[in-house]
A and B are shown apart, each in its own frame.
Chain A
């Protein structure tokens, strides 16, 4: 049991922390939000230079050679500054599909460009009826000679408007809610028949509605088993949950510290409001929620590596529940303890609250996962 960072990990953490500290103050973030992309191309290039875009890929393939702990460290820093760039969608989600589902040839075609910052990915899975069920897929991929034809619509594709390629789940066989017969496809955003409608999300990110109308795909577009793609999706999403947990911890910590600062400076009734016990206890409860979340982010990073998919899924469900509960509490109380100032668009607190709320909703909120976990027998076996 060792929670210490290695020398390399500390260097990585220091360099991101320095970069974001210098270039991702809240005022910088406001400026990045106002650009056409809704995020900073300059920062994207800086991430590439630091190795954050090639982070999880093997060095031999042009990557940084980082593992789950490195992803956790970077995600936490991104959370502290509620960054806007498509790092999570490209590197964690897209990268996860490439690492676990792509052939060496498929990776060779994409990873070097991705690591250099010249290619962005987005994961298109949500459909109007699917809510959080990743296996609920109506989009179809029909065999067409050696290749495929893709038809359907995907919603809430995070950073879909800037993606160069989509990772798309599509049904190759069976009914809409069958767990088999799902394929995972790599689709060029500029392919004929792909339509992308971009929009902003509540937490300052971008997203897109993406429709596929008779999109022709080559035989090499499929990642792994064309009829058995769900285990790949689950595995990648479990890793993504670990990264989301770390990101939430970073955001919670920043929100908690910001709140403490405010309690120590804001004066009412002739003294700092942090001298009132009601507010002190609420802050202590925020700290409890944060520490429990931090513990579960570690647990998530550890569990996402588990090769047993059933145990892994239960543990990641638990991570999602704790992170979601803590994020909700810390986010709401950040606003409450600040008072009116946190209700304003110009102040940072509300933006952390919004990001934490959206983080909980990503890939299923705490209520969803507590039900899934309860239905699967929970974490502790009966005596």
Chain B
């Protein structure tokens, strides 16, 4: 039993940190330090820098352009990105669709899509949820009917994150309406420029444009864009959803935000003294820090298990623990950041200040300190975290059934 990082792992961390410090564009880091999401251009630029270094897809096998890292190295790399802070490789490409194509796709699909995914030449989005299929994803109704060399798709997807940026969408569609609900689903790759696709923005409560509805009206998709076996798309979906073991823990991101929160708290006065001396406030922050420390160790345990059984896709109950605790912690920190801003939290505005949003007030230092802009927006927006990716209640169902035997 040795509960510390090895010297090699420490050296690797230094290497990653040095690379980020040298190569991360200053504007990207500055924007993210303010708590804003990076712009599309910044995400693309950074992923292309990483790709040149061979680091765009930490988890992919070497033969498809991955770096051949151990689980620990992948984790360290992602931690360092969050701590910098720097954009992570685009999840839709690298952690969702890419792994499905690697596991289920044919040689042509791999050659055609994977290099462009790595270099972010194509921005992908995920077409899973529907108005009638949220937590009960297998209840989806979007239909694909085979007509000659094409699938003709009709239906509607929703909560499609950043579809406004996307060149391609990976879809779950119903190809056999008579089969049991999990058994008549297929996994399709669709070019967003295909006629018949309409993207309609959904503006979320903080005013941001992050998610969309996507409508399909007689959209003709070449038959060769089906991944894996017809009617076996649920296998792809399960693989995709179970693929990321510690994606929602985001320990580094929370640590970076707590560090920022403490800086703000040191400069913010309540009752004539800085918030850092307000024991009530700091106790709440400390409770979150403790949970975060425990979560980091839980992540370490998951890594250690994964490294012992490479290639195993056995479900691990701690994945649900990471989702529940990781999101609770992120939401907790977002709330404390908002509270630290006091009255200046209430300036309306989309934290990301990107085009297409519903934002009302531009960032203006005459109105509020620059660090206060958007903190309430992030708090409101991050309520999504315990809803998406299998809501935290679904996670509890999974734990009860799969691990507790209830």
Residues of A in contact with B (beta carbons under 8 Å apart): 1-6, 9, 69, 260, 263-264, 274-275, 277, 279-281, 283-285, 287-288, 291-296, 298-299, 301-302, 315, 318, 321-322, 325, 370-371, 373-375, 377-383
Contact pattern, B 389-406, Cβ under 8 Å of A = 1, otherwise 0: 000010111011001111
Which stretch (B104-112, B198-206, B235-243, B298-306) binds chain A? B298-306
Contact present for A281 and B289 (CB under 8 Å): no
Contact present for A296 and B6 (CB under 8 Å): no
Q: How far is the CB of A364 from chain B (nearest CB, A)?
A: 14
Rounded to whole angstroms, the CA-CA distance of A97 and B286 in the bound complex is 31
Cβ-defined partner of B304 (8 Å) among A1, A263, A379: A1
Contact present for B405 and A382 (CB under 8 Å): no
Rounded to whole angstroms, the CA-CA distance of A301 and B6 in the bound complex is 17
Contact present for A280 and B405 (CB under 8 Å): no
Closest residue to A321 on the B side, CB-wise?
B290
Closest residue to B259 on the A side, CB-wise?
A383
Per the 8 Å Cβ criterion, residues 275-323 of B in contact with A are: 276, 279, 282-283, 285-287, 289-298, 300-301, 303-305, 307-308, 317-318, 320-321
Q: How far is the CB of A2 from chain B (nearest CB, A)?
A: 5
Contact partners of B298 in chain A: CB under 8 A: 291-292, 295
Rounded to whole angstroms, the CA-CA distance of A1 and B400 in the bound complex is 29
Contact present for A292 and B301 (CB under 8 Å): no
Which stretch (B61-69, B260-268, B380-388) binds chain A? B260-268
Contact partners of B300 in chain A: CB under 8 A: 1, 3, 295
Contact present for B295 and A277 (CB under 8 Å): no
Per the 8 Å Cβ criterion, residues 19-78 of B in contact with A are: 72
Contact present for B404 and A295 (CB under 8 Å): no
Contact partners of B97 in chain A: CB under 8 A: none
Contact present for B297 and A374 (CB under 8 Å): no
Rounded to whole angstroms, the CA-CA distance of A4 and B303 in the bound complex is 12
Q: How far is the CB of A46 from chain B (nearest CB, A)?
A: 25
Contact present for B294 and A381 (CB under 8 Å): no
Q: How many B residues, CB 8 Å from partner?
A: 57
Rounded to whole angstroms, the CA-CA distance of A44 and B325 in the bound complex is 41
Contact present for A281 and B393 (CB under 8 Å): yes
Contact partners of B260 in chain A: CB under 8 A: 383
Contact present for B293 and A275 (CB under 8 Å): no
Contact partners of A370 in chain B: CB under 8 A: 283, 286-287, 290
Residues of B in contact with A (beta carbons under 8 Å apart): 1-6, 9, 72, 255-256, 258-260, 262-263, 265-266, 276, 279, 282-283, 285-287, 289-298, 300-301, 303-305, 307-308, 317-318, 320-321, 324-325, 393, 395-397, 399-400, 403-406
Other contacts beyond A284-B396, A301-B3: 16, CB < 8 A: A1-B5, A1-B304, A2-B304, A9-B1, A260-B406, A264-B406, A280-B396, A287-B403, A288-B321, A288-B324, A302-B4, A318-B294, A321-B290, A371-B283, A374-B285, A379-B286
Contact present for B72 and A1 (CB under 8 Å): yes
Contact partners of A321 in chain B: CB under 8 A: 286-287, 290
Q: How far is the CB of B21 from chain A (nearest CB, A)?
A: 16
Contact partners of A274 in chain B: CB under 8 A: 406
Q: How far is the CB of A374 from chain B (nearest CB, A)?
A: 4
Contact present for A284 and B399 (CB under 8 Å): yes
Q: A296-B294, A302-B4, A379-B289 are in contact. Are A285 and B396 (CB under 8 A)?
A: yes
Q: How far is the CB of A169 from chain B (nearest CB, A)?
A: 28
Contact present for A382 and B297 (CB under 8 Å): no
Main secondary structure of the interface of A (DSSP, over half): helix
Rounded to whole angstroms, the CA-CA distance of A291 and B317 in the bound complex is 10
Contact present for A380 and B294 (CB under 8 Å): no
Can you show 24 pairs from A to B with CB atoms below 8 A apart?
A1-B307, A2-B3, A6-B1, A275-B406, A280-B406, A283-B404, A284-B400, A288-B321, A292-B295, A299-B293, A299-B294, A299-B297, A302-B4, A373-B290, A374-B282, A374-B285, A378-B262, A378-B285, A379-B293, A380-B259, A380-B262, A380-B289, A382-B262, A383-B259
Q: How far is the CB of A167 from chain B (nearest CB, A)?
A: 29
Q: Which residue of B296, B307, B406 has the most chain A CB atoms within 10 A of its CB atom?
A: B406
Contact partners of B255 in chain A: CB under 8 A: 380
Rounded to whole angstroms, the CA-CA distance of A371 and B397 in the bound complex is 35
Q: How far is the CB of A382 from chain B (nearest CB, A)?
A: 4
Q: How far is the CB of A301 from chain B (nearest CB, A)?
A: 7
Rounded to whole angstroms, the CA-CA distance of A1 and B297 in the bound complex is 10
Contact partners of B301 in chain A: CB under 8 A: 3, 294-295, 298
Rounded to whole angstroms, the CA-CA distance of A69 and B3 in the bound complex is 10
Contact present for B286 and A281 (CB under 8 Å): no
Q: How far is the CB of A162 from chain B (nearest CB, A)?
A: 33
Contact partners of A284 in chain B: CB under 8 A: 320, 395-397, 399-400, 404
Cβ-defined partner of B290 (8 Å) among A5, A69, A318, A381: A318
Contact partners of B304 in chain A: CB under 8 A: 1-4
Closest residue to A367 on the B side, CB-wise?
B283
Contact present for A4 and B1 (CB under 8 Å): yes
Contact partners of A379 in chain B: CB under 8 A: 286, 289-290, 292-293
Contact present for B297 and A295 (CB under 8 Å): yes
Rounded to whole angstroms, the CA-CA distance of A281 and B391 in the bound complex is 13
Q: A1-B304, A275-B406, A296-B293 are in contact. Are A375 and B279 (CB under 8 A)?
A: yes
Q: How far is the CB of A55 from chain B (nearest CB, A)?
A: 15
Contact partners of A285 in chain B: CB under 8 A: 396
Contact partners of B399 in chain A: CB under 8 A: 283-284, 287
Closest residue to B298 on the A side, CB-wise?
A295
Rounded to whole angstroms, the CA-CA distance of A302 and B403 in the bound complex is 28
Contact present for A288 and B325 (CB under 8 Å): yes
Rounded to whole angstroms, the CA-CA distance of A299 and B299 in the bound complex is 12
Q: Which residue of A281, A321, A382 has the most chain B CB atoms within 10 A of its CB atom?
A: A382
Closest residue to B287 on the A side, CB-wise?
A370
Closest 4 CB pairs of A and B: A295-B297, A280-B400, A382-B262, A284-B396
Q: A280-B404, A383-B262 are in contact. Are A1 and B321 (CB under 8 A)?
A: no
Q: Which residue of A3, A9, A277, A301 has the most chain B CB atoms within 10 A of its CB atom?
A: A3
Contact partners of A380 in chain B: CB under 8 A: 255, 258-259, 262, 289, 292
Rounded to whole angstroms, the CA-CA distance of A6 and B2 in the bound complex is 10
Contact present for B266 and A374 (CB under 8 Å): no
Contact partners of B259 in chain A: CB under 8 A: 380-383
Contact present for B2 and A295 (CB under 8 Å): no
Q: Which residue of A2, A9, A374 has the most chain B CB atoms within 10 A of its CB atom?
A: A374
Contact present for A302 and B406 (CB under 8 Å): no
Contact present for A281 and B400 (CB under 8 Å): yes
